[in-house]
Chain A
Amino acid sequence: MSAVRTLVDLLAGRRAAATLAPREWDGVIGVARAEAMLATLACCVGEDDLPPSVAALFADQRAAAEVARGQALWEAEMARRALGSEGIEFVLLKGTAYAVAGLSCSDGRQIGDLDILVLALDIGRVENELLEAGWEWVKPDAYDDHYYREHMHELPPLIHKARDRMIDVHHTILPRTHRITPDALALVSDAVPTPGGFAVLCPTDMACHCAAHMIADGDLQGGLRNLWDFHCLTRDFVAADPGFWGKLDARADLHGLRAPVRRAARLARDLYGSILPSGWDGHDPGDIWYRRRLLARDDWGRATNFPLQQAFYIRSHWLRMPPMLLAQHLWTKWRKR
């Protein structure tokens, strides 16, 4: 069995860590690193069943993830200090939000940039406050700046000059030019407070955003991690509210995200064993391409199936922009090479 499948089986709990031969771990660890999921795996498997060297490596990973979580939460606090004093409200997204809300997918989860969502009308003030508080532009390129501001769902990335950490300021969850336009106002106005005094998306929106980010926006790079988020989020939310799937359906409809949410759910079932309600538990012949893309990694951690990668890459652009605009964008980028 391929290492990536073994990784997925370990995460899903279909295979016990004790059944792996020591050398089988080589590929699993390599693939998990490539998918930024090694610490997630380390948090998932029982410590007793591991060869000593794997147990030691996993202990390192868990400890490092704990430090990284603390650093990510500190960034959120820094954003609060920069924006809160001006009375600007923001909603935490993705990894930082999962950590702040104490959701199970945050165990060992790598958190890259700080992602926040603000109302579109606040975006100028947010920009000013962050610049005043020491963040600066990463890409001082006029076209890229224009591209982000005209077409994207976020400001160009900012990086803090002292702490070297990035912040992505979103005003919605999909590019402006995307075929789907989620209800950004609803996202912000229905956000929920966390015990630490931050705001995160409400459970249904969190699942919608996760699915939108994975299925409707990118080219499925890092898809196994995003799908794991979706699997854990829905599992946590169903445990707290048995009516969650029904509410998720309604909310996905509001945002125009029914198809991506449904697909994410089916993929989470196929790979991680999510339990879906009857109405969701169907099959779509197109899913096979997504599964293949998600599992396209060899035992050395290398991405495989280049044509499929390319196809998903082109698809992601196709979804993000209307054809003429896309052609214009690609032409400009190509000339600037």
Chain B
Amino acid sequence: MRYAARIAVGPVQFRIGSDWPEPVAALESLYAGYPKDPERTADATVRLFAARPWRRWLRPSVHIGGDFVVPDALPLPLSMGLLAAEMGMNLQVALGWRRHMLLHASAVARDGRAVVMSGESGSGKSTLAALLGEGDWRLMGDEFTLIDPVAGDALAFPRAISLKNEAIAEMAGRVDAARLGPLLAGTPKGDIRHLIPRADAIAAMHQPVRPALILFPRFGGEPAIEPMGEGEAFVRLTEASTNYIALGEAGFAALTRLVRTTPAFGIAYPDSASGIALVEQLWAEAVR
């Protein structure tokens, strides 16, 4: 393709091809601090393309393709090319990655152990991870957490954090503006602005950690902690995994071990400060 970028996030090497220079330039600036190995083969291919040649220039709209595609996925305007790239990369990992069990979850780590936070969009798992990652936690990822089916360890996938709506202002006040990407206003997912993880989180992205705590955050309502049984955690995590079925018995074994060895809680929180306090409280109990 005319323009191309190569990005390595966690264990996945991407190559992203594009009919336009803008998405590639945006990616390269967002991922400038990530390790680069020009000799490394791409595991996954993303293509950002115009469905018809003239749509490169005339009302340019970005279709998301690659090794795996979602049929009938709507294209995005070129101004949201970065979001298209992000969606394309997520899609390849969600549908194509087989080395680890993928959990749709954010994670942070401290002292070689991880808190895994799983929840729907809007649960605040991204924002919590981003906030903790600015403190004395290592951000592992805001979208996917990878579980090694053999060792049971959690592995990081620290892509640029996708801040949405209110979270943008909340984070913008705390971090260096150089770590923020362009504001993508009015996308199908609301306003989006990417936050580049801290350099130490990127440098440590290949270090596996033991899961110590599984949380299912829910934004809104009074602060609350609900201990969760292994069975419920298991079922919720099968729903949060994009490749649980494809992994077969290995996925079952990995997930059963995870829920048996890791305490799980549902938490509700009205604001970020109380969310962080709940995580710290449960962490202190879990690692005691």
Contacts and interface: CB of A to CB of B under 8 A. Distances in A.
A268 B66 CA distance: 28
A51 B13 CA distance: 14
Given A67-B248, A300-B17, A23 B98 contact: no
A276 B97 CA distance: 39
Contacts of A51: 39-41
B174 to A, nearest CB: 36
A67 B47 contact: no
Nearest to B8: A53
Given A30-B67, A63-B98, A70 B248 contact: yes
Contact of A22 (B41, B49, B67, B98): B41
Task: Classify chain A: how many residues form its interface, as a range.
Answer: 20 to 34
Contacts, number: 62
A70 B250 CA distance: 13
B248 A26 contact: no
B98 A54 contact: no
B262 interface: no
B106 to A, nearest CB: 24
A71 B248 CA distance: 8
Interface in B94-111: 96-99
B273 interface: no
B99 A53 contact: no
Contact of B99 (A22, A23, A56): A56
A206 interface: no
A130 to B, nearest CB: 22
B249 interface: yes
Nearest to A50: B41
A34 B40 CA distance: 20
Nearest to A34: B67
Given A26-B15, A70-B248, A300 B43 contact: no
A156 B45 CA distance: 34
A68 B249 CA distance: 11
Contact of A67 (B13, B45, B65, B250): B250
A61 B96 CA distance: 10
A165 to B, nearest CB: 11
B41 A26 contact: yes
Task: Classify chain B: how many residues form its interface, as a range.
Answer: 20 to 34
- Which secondary structure dominates chain A's binding surface? helix
A302 interface: yes
A329 interface: no
A301 interface: yes
A330 interface: no
A33 interface: yes
B42 interface: yes
Q: Which of the listed residues A53, A301, A302 has the most CB atoms from chain B within 10 Å of its own CB? A: A53
Contacts of B39: 22-23, 51
Interface in A46-71: 51, 53-54, 56-57, 60-61, 63-64, 67-68, 70-71
Contacts of B43: 29, 53, 57
Contacts of A302: 47, 49, 65
A30 B248 contact: no
B98 A300 contact: no
Nearest to A33: B67
B26 interface: no
A33 B95 CA distance: 12
Contacts of B97: 60
A220 to B, nearest CB: 20
Contacts of A26: 15, 41-42, 45
A25 interface: yes
A60 B15 CA distance: 19
A29 B41 contact: yes
B73 interface: no
Given A30-B67, A64-B98, A67-B249, A300 B41 contact: no
12 contacts: A25-B41, A26-B41, A29-B43, A51-B39, A51-B40, A57-B41, A67-B249, A68-B246, A300-B1, A300-B47, A301-B67, A302-B47
Q: Which 5 residue pairs across A and B have the least CB separation, nearest first?
A: A67-B248, A25-B41, A64-B98, A33-B67, A60-B98
Interface of A: 22-23, 25-26, 29-30, 33-34, 51, 53-54, 56-57, 60-61, 63-64, 67-68, 70-71, 300-302
Given A54-B41, A302-B47, 7 more contacts: A22-B40, A23-B39, A26-B42, A64-B246, A71-B248, A300-B1, A301-B45
